[in-house]
Amino acid sequence: MAVSIRLRREGAKNRPYYRVVVADSHSPRDGKFIEILGTYDPKLTGQNSSFNVERAEYWISKGAQPSDTVRSLIKKQKKMGAAEPATESDRESSELAEGGLSPSPETTT
């Protein structure tokens, strides 16, 4: 069975919305699939996709072939994941340590 990672179209007419799925390459575009990895909304600007990159890499290691669009989405997700701080609290603590922000107004008297 040849497995591919590709987009499954959902959404209304003139309002496309896609799910990133792992499917048999012989099944139709919107047909049966093995696993849903995430979503992709081409109408949004900026961060328009969210999916589990670890699972995508797992399937690729098992021989799944990503489509060209999914391959570029994986590359973009990896780049965005490396650029962002781990959590919001880490970001706030690093800004406080640099002296860029003062403590919140509730704590000062």
Q: What is the pLDDT of residues 21-65, one digit of tens each?
A: 999 989 888 888 999 999 999 888 888 888 889 999 999 999 999
CA dihedral 55, 80, 66, 62 (to 10 degrees): -30
User: What is the pTM assigned to this prediction?
Assistant: 0.69
Give pLDDT, residue 106. Answer: 59
Q: What is the pLDDT of residues 5-18, one digit of tens each?
A: 999 999 999 999 99
Domains of the chain in start order, with CATH, are 3-98 (3.30.1320.10)
Give pLDDT, residue 99. Answer: 53
Mean pLDDT along residues 58-83:
89
Long-range contacts, 33-42 (Cβ 8 Å, 24+): 33/8, 34/3, 35/59, 37/5, 40/7, 40/69, 40/73, 41/17, 42/16, 42/18
